[in-house]
Amino acid sequence: MKNKFLILAIGGILGVSIGFLIEYFFAQKAVSRLTKEKKEYELEIQKAEKEIKRLEKIIKEVLPPPKEIFALGGEVTRVKANSLIIEVPQIHPLEKTPSQREVMVTKETKIVKVVPKSLELYEQEMKQYHLKEKELFEKEKRGIAIKSWPSPPEPFEEKEIELKEIKVGDEVSVIAQEDIKFAEKFKAVKIKIEE
């Protein structure tokens, strides 16, 4: 009985030892495979990074980022006593510019809302435009050089409003006197809101 127990104990120990050896062998094989895959992924990442840099260079040559910006458009996210907070899209895909800007409103800031003209006014302006155009065509036929042609009238006009009339969610265009490409806060010369 003692021999059977001893044989069983030795067999158990050998079985467990062989199991651990087999498991260690498979674990080593898996580690080796994962290490190889990691190196392959790292090489792919390096290739991708080089390709990204190459494409960025091409994009900058074909579509260079603007050196200066004096106007932005965006959505109003907050209205303060003397300023607006607006959310603006990126100016250029390869440059990180602030997405949130504070637009300072001063006494000199002109705030306007673009509204449709009355039909009567627009028709009257169109008649005057067509008369002027006809007159210039006649002069041109007679050989008179025309320096500039008139622009057709716009169907919209700007109506001055106050800051308090601007609401969160409004789309605005903002014009500044200085370069605001990277400015997070700046004074506006004009703020225009579309109706």
Domain count, the chain: 2
Residues 90 and 171 in one domain: yes
- The CA distance from 86 to 192, in Å, is 13
Task: Kindly tell me if the per-residue pLDDT of 43 is higher than 90.
Answer: no
Model's pTM, two decimal places? 0.63
Is residue 124 situated within a structural domain? Answer: no
Residue range 15-26: mean pLDDT, rounded: 68
* Same domain, yes or no: 79 and 4: no
Kindly report, residue by residue over 92-145, the tens digit of the pLDDT.
888 889 999 999 999 999 999 999 998 999 999 999 999 998 888 888 888 888
pLDDT confidence band for 17 (50 / 70 / 90): low
- Averaged pLDDT for residues 164-177: 94
- Based on the fold, state whether residues 39 and 4 are members of the same structural domain: yes
Please report whether residue 112 resides in a domain: yes
pLDDT tens, 47-95? 888 887 888 788 777 778 888 999 999 999 999 999 999 999 988 888 8
Flag whether 107 is in a domain: yes
Q: Do residues 31 and 108 both lie within one domain?
A: no
- The answer to whether residues 183 and 164 belong to one domain is yes
pLDDT for 126 equals 92
78 in the same domain as 59: no
* CATH code: domain of residue 89: 2.40.50
| pLDDT(1) > 60 | no
Question: Are 27 and 87 found together in one domain?
Answer: no
Q: pLDDT value at position 7? A: 65
Q: What is the mean pLDDT of the chain?
A: 86
- Find residue 174's DSSP bridge partners: 72, 191
Domain assignment of residue 127, yes or no = no
What per-residue confidence (pLDDT) applies to 53? 84
Domain residues for the domain of 113 are: 71-117+154-194
Residues 60 and 112 in one domain: no
